[in-house]
Amino acid sequence: MAPPLLRLDQIALTFGGTPLLVDAAISVSENDRIALVGRNGSGKSTLLKIAAGFVAPTDGEVFKHPGVTVRYLAQAPDMDGYANVRAYVEAGLGPADDVYRVSYLLEHLGLTGEEEPGNLSGGETRRAALAKVLAPQPDVLLLDEPTNHLDLTTIEWLESELRQVRSAIVVISHDRRFLENVSRSTIWLDRGVTKRLDQGFGAFEEWRDKVLEEEERDLHKLGRQIVREEHWLRYGVTARRKRNMRRLGDLQSMRSEFRNHRGAQGKAVLKASDARESGKLVIEAEHLVKAYGDRVLVKDFSTRVQRGNCVGFVGPNGAGKTTLLSMLTGMLKPDSGFVKLGTNLEIAILDQKRDSLNLEQTLADYLTDGRGENVIVNGEQRHVASYMKDFLFQPEQLRTPIREISGGERARLMLARVLARPANLLVLDEPTNDLDMETLDLLQELVAGFAGTVLLVSHDRDFLDRTVTSVIAPEGDGRWLEYAGGYTDMLAQRKEAALATRAELKNSKPVNGLAEKAVPTNREEKRKLSYKQKYALETLPAKIETLHGEIAVLEKMLADPELFARNAALFNTTVEEITKKRQSLETCEHEWLELELLREELEN
């Protein structure tokens, strides 16, 4: 068996008080695809930083095989000191790494490379950081929440890219579908100790529940054994003193183990505050249009939202999801068209932008708006410390400034504030960011069982499939279409519609020497190129031209008859590189030709 590329053994870490890590271990071998999972605050990110060499453990061993390259994707990458994104990404390359891969990654991640770090959004910063760690194709990739702030198109591309790279991967993510698609084994960090399952994340939750059940049984058995031993101590027949002292020592050890046992972390309690019932028709929108300059984000969109609906909004970053949501809730006026809101509406909004948080404000002041020690939930007055416990905050965190809590805790804090407000219409913009899976489960139950209406923007495919009754998605050029069911249902309907349209075009017969012109239906009008296809059609010609130029340069190098004798390694590398680029060129040309034919079919 080959030695591991990276190994952590018996890792312990404490900052005073309860240890964060007690006996944590990770072993990473070639081709490993490991999901690192655990509750928010369990130490996952810290363990990954120890593996990357950024944090020193209190105890334990960290071994990296000589010559192994490791790249770490931090949740908050530091881009200070770089003129633009390309300079930042290229800074991660080694001497032998392919600089052309930087252009490939930036293009697929929707960046030009000329962006200035200070002007980047959260999603753009995350994509730049991803390009930096993926470009060198290291031996080990350590990824901390790689899907945060990414749209669905980019997440699906990232899944495909990670399946192809040669790197071993350890990934932290709260996106279930992503973990299921990329992992082959799972490491569970729980109460400072790691346990490993040699299966992907899809098998994790059932295995975890069994482990916790066995632990509960073992603890119960230990308690009963302590009772028996205490009975012996009081009433048993005296035997040899040495044996009795040993048995007494065993009893003390069992008592200590039982007393010091750290139970599994409790579950959050998520419940929305009730409000009076809204009217049956919650939102009616007709022919909405919204544009900023020449860019049309919404064009001729109409919908009706009934009480009890849960409507999901999906699409690439910048497609206009938040703009459309703002118009539907009356916060933004459309350029044309109208929105009619139903009666008795009480709206609670969770904004995806956490920059608005006052980081110096304490948790208690944030929840109470600085008005004393109590919060009103469902018409009842509760002490803020009691309410915070429902969201897994400890009483000692009452006066903790928001800047000192993690991203996941900030997400829970914002949820706590929103759910305390009486509402019959919940507007949730990216509510799943940074939430651990247990809290996601509870949020899913809350949304699915909410008596009112929910408008939900999310890039979490699994969460959408489990909660929404319909999905609104962009079709390009400002057009939006509503699909019944969840995200997977939307994909199936899109595929069926595309196949039906292609079959109709293929089977249409000429009439009087002219192609029969079908009467366009609403569905057929909307079956044009998707956002991703249109983007590919626009960018592929430039990529093909670039590949032609790069191949010409490499061919010129190989034309040198003395190259092999002078530098055999360079000759072999050049041959490999030109082979790869010719394959890429063939793939790009084939993809462009298919898209161009599809475009012509749809336009005709």
**Per-residue confidence (pLDDT) for residue 263, from 0 to 100:** 53
Query: At the topology level of CATH, where does 6-204 sit?
Result: Rossmann fold (3.40.50)
Cα–Cα distance, 302 to 334 (Å, whole number) = 12
Cα–Cα distance, 297 to 367 (Å, whole number) = 35
- Are 142 and 70 in contact, with CB atoms under 8 Å apart? yes
Query: Does pLDDT of 521 surpass 50?
Result: no
Cα–Cα distance, 186 to 339 (Å, whole number) = 48
Q: What is the CATH number of domain 281-489?
A: 3.40.50.300
Query: Does pLDDT of 511 surpass 60?
Result: no
Give CA angle at 144 (455, 3), nearest 5°: 145
Query: Does pLDDT of 252 surpass 70?
Result: no
Cα–Cα distance, 316 to 293 (Å, whole number) = 20
**Per-residue confidence (pLDDT) for residue 8, from 0 to 100:** 95
Mean pLDDT of 339-359: 80
Do the strands 281-292 and 336-341 form a parallel or antiparallel pair, or are they unpaired?
antiparallel
φ/ψ (deg, to 5) at 588? -65, -45
Residue 597 DSSP SS3? helix
- Are 164 and 101 in contact, with CB atoms under 8 Å apart? no
Mean pLDDT of 24-34: 94
Question: Minimal CA–CA distance to 225: which of 260, 217, 239?
Answer: 217
Helices 204-235 and 241-260, interaxial angle, to 10°?
Answer: 140
Choose between 342 and 352: higher pLDDT: 342
Helices 152-164 and 122-134, interaxial angle, to 10°?
Answer: 10
Question: Which own/partner pairs from 364-368 qualify as long-range (CB within 8 Å, at least 24 positions apart)?
Answer: 364/388, 364/398, 364/399, 366/402, 366/413, 366/417, 367/413, 367/416, 367/417, 367/420
Options 2.30.30.100, 2.70.150.10, 2.40.170.20, 1.10.287.380; which CATH number does 531-603 get? 1.10.287.380
Task: Provide the residue ranges of all domains of the chain, joining segments of one domain with +.
Answer: 6-204, 207-260, 281-489, 531-603
pLDDT digits (tens, 9 = 90+) for 151-197: 888 898 999 899 889 999 999 998 899 999 999 999 999 888 999 99
Residue 451 DSSP SS3? coil
**Per-residue confidence (pLDDT) for residue 132, from 0 to 100:** 94
**Per-residue confidence (pLDDT) for residue 515, from 0 to 100:** 44
Do the strands 21-28 and 70-73 form a parallel or antiparallel pair, or are they unpaired?
unpaired
pLDDT digits (tens, 9 = 90+) for 295-309: 899 999 999 999 989
Same fold, 281-489 and 531-603: no
pLDDT digits (tens, 9 = 90+) for 258-296: 566 555 555 556 666 666 777 889 999 999 999 988 889
Over 342-388, what HEC string results? CCCCCEEEECCCHHHCCCCCEHHHHHHCCCCCEEEECCEEEEHHHHH
